[in-house]
Amino acid sequence: MTGHGGTEDPAIGGPTRHIPVLLAEVLDHLDPKPGEIVVDGTFGAGGYSRAILDRGADVIAIDRDPSAIAAARSMAEGFDGRLMPVHGRFGAMGELLADRAGSLDGVVLDIGVSSMQLDEAERGFSFQKDGPLDMRMGREGPSAADVVNTLSVGDLARIFNFLGEERHAGRAARAIVDRRAEEPFSRTLDLSRVIGKAVGRSPKDKIDPATRSFQALRIFVNDELGELARALVAAETLLKPGGRLVVVSFHSLEDRIVKRFFQDRSSSGGGSRHLPDVIAVAPTFEARNRAVGASEAEAAVNPRARSAKLRLGTRLEAPARTTNDPLSFAGLPALADIERL
């Protein structure tokens, strides 16, 4: 996926061998040990899960993609019951693992689309491979085709602007609505051509002109930012004191949410002579302020790692916070309701 400033992930355009990003750093901070239980909330190709299992810890592997869960079940056969696949959204892991609240030793999240999904043209994620305009990680609910063939110019422009940071969001949205009046969109390359023509490409651009809009559609279709925010709140409930939360993100929008969560949960949340009515609450995480990035050596071997940022926190004794708006820290943009499509 695209990172901050619009640098392209090479995996979008062509096949790549799956390499777990920041694996050494993840293991260092997650520190899995024999007898511990760690949640891999985004199993994907299983790179983190396998490494954690090799350290002796048990793994609960969550993924919304049926193909990934099938691969997890196959992998589990070689680990004598120590790998437990769970089909579902990682944002719902609080409900999926409700019976384990306050008992888990670690949670790791690798945010974004997997290289396997990008490489499969029939999944409809890539703007450089022709396939059905789908983009659904879980293969359920409204597709990207439903979105571009249904939403208004204003709704599409906001999606492209907020989630793709596309400077010419209005142009792309108007071009889509004008074209769909003649024929609805159903294929990825068709949409890519229309967006590319509307947005244009300057000689200085290093990425395809459809990159940001496709990214925005994927994030919207899968509610990726909402999923991340809900997963962070769930991890707070699931981890026991001393439990570690490690999150690897690839985009500024994701990293901002993770940063805000740790800032919020590692502070007392109020109490001042200027604000006497604010009730101070105990911090629930001890968090590191600076993100961890990939080494030059890893970035050279795995270009996807260039935009990766790892943030981590250790669960403290205080009970998980409860509020009427549990996702307020995330600052999620107000966009169209995809459930109404």
* pTM score, whole prediction: 0.88
pLDDT digits (tens, 9 = 90+) for 67-100: 999 999 999 999 999 999 999 999 999 999 999 9
pLDDT given at position 243: 98
pLDDT tens digit sequence for 209-242: 989 999 999 999 999 999 999 999 999 999 999 9
Q: What is the pLDDT of residue 338?
A: 84
Residue ranges of the alpha helices (H) in the chain?
23-30, 47-54, 66-76, 93-96, 115-119, 144-150, 153-164, 169-180, 188-199, 211-221, 224-238, 252-265, 296-301
Instruction: Give the residues of the chain that fall short of pLDDT 70.
Output: 1-18, 112-128, 268-279
At a CB cut-off of 8 Å and minimum separation 6, what does 82 contact? 53, 58, 59, 76
Sign of CA dihedral 208, 209, 213, 216: positive
Question: Tell me, what's the pLDDT at 221?
Answer: 94
